[in-house]
């Protein structure tokens, strides 16, 4: 990503930094576009009231070239407007804003768009591709040795402590059990404890400012009257996005093929923006993972016995 600076020089306005939003996690996960569109777990109605959206994704990228020692006072952003240090240069915007975006002439190399009156380049979430997508802010690195500069950028995974048990997990396990027992009122009460909390926000990580927001009443009002397994899965997705739960959740509830058998995402080119539908076959036998070959090799068995010991879908 480059920009024309005040002096006429071309510089990188957003550089890698030892902060969660601009670091490089070991694994970057491209979310499918369906999650952010109408009917998805992060549809516009959810984005508007659920603080977990801001706390999960990097949606706005702030300039930081001054931290590298570059003294350029500003760069030119969308619509030829000036963008100063620490201001937003690129944003992901809701699907509902797509009709207001001009994708032609803004940035031919990266496929960015422009909206009237805005200095930041934009892309609507219904154009998520395999090259451009909101990164998972939760997985970004965090360092405290920046000292006003870019800091030491780690190529590995996040050095932050990783939670192995969460209070919210207890509530969602209990809510799932209540659904299976037919105790809908109990399930709704348990889920709403988390949803009321998710409606409150004291800091916007995308805007990097303190806020005072309380939309807990709206969150509770938006909870459906009847809680089912699909809603529990959606709520688990919003609560634990990118934390390694998803495959186990879908397998445990026997929803893997139904929820992941088809999805939409744009292509692998930087300017690709039109969604493609991907369909994949998920046989029932894949709901059980294979026994590792190393484990089989260490067993005192004949090859035929090892093959028979392997889970059926993975036998030679």
The model's pLDDT over 36-84, given as tens digits with 9 standing for 90+, comes to 999 999 999 999 999 999 999 999 999 999 999 999 999 999 999 999 9
Contact 271, 109 (CB under 8 A): yes
CB burial readout 250-272, b (16+ within 10 A) else e: beebeebbebeeebbbbeeebbb
Q: Which residue has the higher pLDDT, 15 or 232?
A: 232
Mean pLDDT of the chain: 91
CA–CA dist 272, 276 (Å, integer): 10
Percentage of the chain surpassing pLDDT 70?
Answer: 92
Task: Report pLDDT for 203.
Answer: 96
3-class DSSP assignment, residue 90:
strand
Query: What's the N-to-C CA distance of the chain in angstroms?
Result: 47
E strand or H helix that includes residue 44: helix 44-47
Split at pLDDT 50, 70, 90, the class of 102 is: very high
Region 134-150: mean pLDDT is 77
Neighbour count for residue 46 (Cβ, 10 Å):
18
Split at pLDDT 50, 70, 90, the class of 298 is: very high
Region 121-150: mean pLDDT is 84
Query: Which residues are within 8 A (CB) of 127 and not within 5 positions of it... i.e. 6 or more apart?
Result: 33, 98, 111, 266, 273, 274, 275
CA–CA dist 221, 206 (Å, integer): 26
Strand partners, 204: 209
Split at pLDDT 50, 70, 90, the class of 110 is: confident
Query: Which residues are within 8 A (CB) of 106 and not within 5 positions of it... i.e. 6 or more apart?
Result: 78, 112, 113, 114, 121
pLDDT for 156 beyond 60:
no
E strand or H helix that includes residue 276: strand 276-279
pLDDT per position as a tens digit, 7-32: 999 999 998 888 878 766 555 678 99
Contact 73, 84 (CB under 8 A): yes
């Amino acid at each position: 990503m480059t920009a024309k600076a005040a002096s006429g020089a071309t510089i990188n306005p957003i550089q890698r930094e030892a902060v969660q939003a601009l670091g490089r996690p070991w694994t970057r996960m491209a979310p499918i576009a369906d999650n952010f569109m109408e009917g998805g777990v992060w549809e516009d109605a959810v984005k508007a009231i659920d603080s977990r959206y801001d706390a999960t994704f990097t949606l706005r990228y702030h300039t930081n070239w001054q931290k590298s020692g570059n003294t350029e006072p500003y760069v030119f952003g969308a619509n030829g407007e000036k963008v100063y240090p620490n201001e937003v240069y690129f944003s992901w915007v809701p699907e509902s804003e797509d009709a207001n975006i001009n994708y032609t002439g803004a940035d031919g190399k990266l496929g960015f768009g422009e909206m009237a009156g805005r200095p930041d380049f934009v892309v609507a979430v219904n154009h998520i591709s395999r090259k451009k997508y909101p990164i998972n802010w939760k997985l970004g690195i965090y360092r405290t040795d920046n000292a006003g500069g870019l800091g030491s950028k780690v190529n590995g995974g996040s050095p932050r402590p990783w939670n192995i048990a969460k209070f919210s997990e207890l509530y969602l396990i209990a809510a799932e059990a209540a659904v299976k027992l037919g105790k809908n009122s109990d399930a709704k009460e348990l889920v709403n404890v988390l949803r009321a909390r998710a409606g409150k926000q004291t800091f916007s990580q995308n805007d990097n400012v303190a806020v005072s927001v309380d939309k807990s009443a709206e969150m509770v009002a938006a909870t459906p009257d009847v809680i089912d397994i699909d809603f529990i899965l959606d709520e688990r997705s919003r609560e634990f996005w990118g934390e390694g739960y998803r495959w186990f959740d879908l397998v445990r509830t026997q929803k893997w093929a139904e929820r992941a058998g088809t999805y939409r995402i744009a292509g692998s080119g930087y300017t690709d923006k039109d969604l493609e539908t991907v369909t994949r076959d998920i046989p029932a036998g894949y709901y059980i993972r294979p026994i590792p070959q190393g484990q089989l090799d260490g067993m005192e068995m004949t090859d035929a016995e090892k093959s028979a010991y392997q889970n059926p879908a993975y036998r030679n």
